[in-house]
Each structure stands twice: as C-alpha cells, then as structure tokens.
Structure 1
Amino acid sequence: MIQCKRVYDDASLEDGYRILVDRLWPRGMKKSALGYDEWCKILTPSTELRQAFHSDVLDFASFSDAYREELNHHQDEGKRIATLAARQTVTLLYGAKDRQQNHAIVLAYWLSQL
C-alpha cells in the first residue's frame, strides 16, 4: 500500500516505511525531527519542472503529465519502491501545503501502476 503524508504531520506506526520525496529539505524541519527511512531524490520532479509548477507557469494537469514523463526515465527505482509497497505500507513524505495537488500524489499513482 502506498500513501502520502505531509512531513509536518505526526508520524505513526501505520506509516510503515517512510520515504521523503522532496528534492529540497523541508523548510523549518530539523533532520533529527523527521522520522524517515530514506530520502529518494531520484523520483522527485526536476528543478525546472518544480519551479514552473510553483510559479503557476504550469497548471496541475500539465505538471502531472510532465512529471510522469520524467518518472518514466526512472522505472527501476520506481519498481523497487512498488515492490516494497507490495510487502508493507509505504508512506511518501512531502512538504507541499496543498494536500490535493502535489507531486507526491502523482508519484503514488505512478508507482501503483508499475
């Protein structure tokens, strides 16, 4: 099972294996304060794509399409995490404020399709 959670939300036992999926370390979060098992930068949006989305150059649909295109170049890493999620709960941790339209949601869906 794959789920998404903001890094600022409390960790719980139900989170299972926790993967930070932001390219940059979350603002205001001490490394010692975030309980996580790995930081997977390879599956994060490119800097250019992230900046275009956050500056409203791209809407969420266009961002999602472009991000999935980037993710398709990292199938091996995606399959590794999808295999892990088939055995246990995997929680993708992200720092974005928007819980409905963020890269972790796109990533979770992409992983579920592998």
Structure 2
Amino acid sequence: MADIRIKRVYEAPSPDDGLRVLVDRVWPRGVSKQAAAVDLWMKEIAPSTELRKWFGHEPARWDEFRSRYLAELDGQHAQLEALRTHTGKRPLTLVYSARDETHNQAVVLREALAAL
C-alpha cells in the first residue's frame, strides 16, 4: 500500500513527509517558498478555478465537489501517474492550504491515487 499523506502547508515540514507536493492552484497566502518546503507544485492537478470557487469550502457541497473533482481528475491520467510513480519509494505528502482538514482537494486526490 502506498504511503500517501496529506498536510496543511501551514504545518511545519517534517523529514518523514517524504516528497512534498503542493496541490493548490493558487500559492498559499502568507507562506514563503522556503517555509512551504515543497518539492513540487502541481497546480494543474488542483480543482479548476470554477470548481474551487463554487465549492467555497462549504461542507454541505462536499459530496458534489468530490464527484466533480474526481471527474476533472479523470482527464489528468498523466499527472496522476506522475504522482503515483513517487509512491512506494518514500512517503508522498499532498500539501494544501484549506482550513478544513476533512473537506479539501487533497483528501479527494489521495483517494484517486489510492484507486490507481
């Protein structure tokens, strides 16, 4: 089983994070590139701007957001495969900026990667 973790960008990086990949379309507010300590920024795999704005981090829209984002990811096979190649070698930590640790794109992306 692949070791895929999720972590807020505002949490301190840890050596056991492995490869840290930022999965937000927009750079997180108030975080320098040094503080973020990401190895890769994959903004193209993040939810579209339209979907992100529609969701607005409203938990009541979570199920629909999840469905729509999975549909968007369906067209991102090359990007998903690129991420998947990193799993197994060392942990993969999907880094995101949302406050809600349960309802965010990293949760859905981890699910999609685990299903590959």
With the length of structure 1 as denominator, give the TM-score of the two structures: 0.94
CA distance in 1, matches of 2:90, 2:35: 23
Three-state SS of the structure 2 residue aligned to 1:85 is coil
Query: Which one-letter code corresponds to 1:3 in the other structure?
Result: R
1:41 to 43, 56, 70: 43
CA distance in 2, matches of 1:55, 1:100: 10
Q: Contact 2:57–2:103 (CA<8 Å) still a contact in 1? A: no
CA distance in 2, matches of 1:15, 1:55: 25
For residues 26-60 of structure 1, the C-alpha deviation after alignment (integer angstroms, 9 at most, x for no partner) is 0111122211100001110000000000074x700
Change (3 A) 1:88 1:55: closer
Query: Which one-letter code corresponds to 2:112 in the other structure?
Result: W
Change (3 A) 1:63 1:16: same
Stretches of structure 1 lacking an aligned partner (at least 5 in a row): none
CA distance in 2, matches of 1:41, 1:28: 18
After TM superposition, the structure 1 = structure 2 runs for residues 11-90 of structure 1, keeping only pairs within 5 Å, are 11-54=13-56, 56=58, 59-90=61-92
Match of 2:104 in 1: 102
Q: In the comparison of the two structures, how many residue pairs are matched? A: 113
Root-mean-square deviation (Å): 1.2
Runs of 4 or more consecutive aligned structure 1 residues displaced over 2 Å after TM superposition: none
Stretches of structure 2 lacking an aligned partner (at least 5 in a row): none
For residues 33-90 of structure 1, the C-alpha deviation after alignment (integer angstroms, 9 at most, x for no partner) is 211100001110000000000074x700000000000001011110111121122100
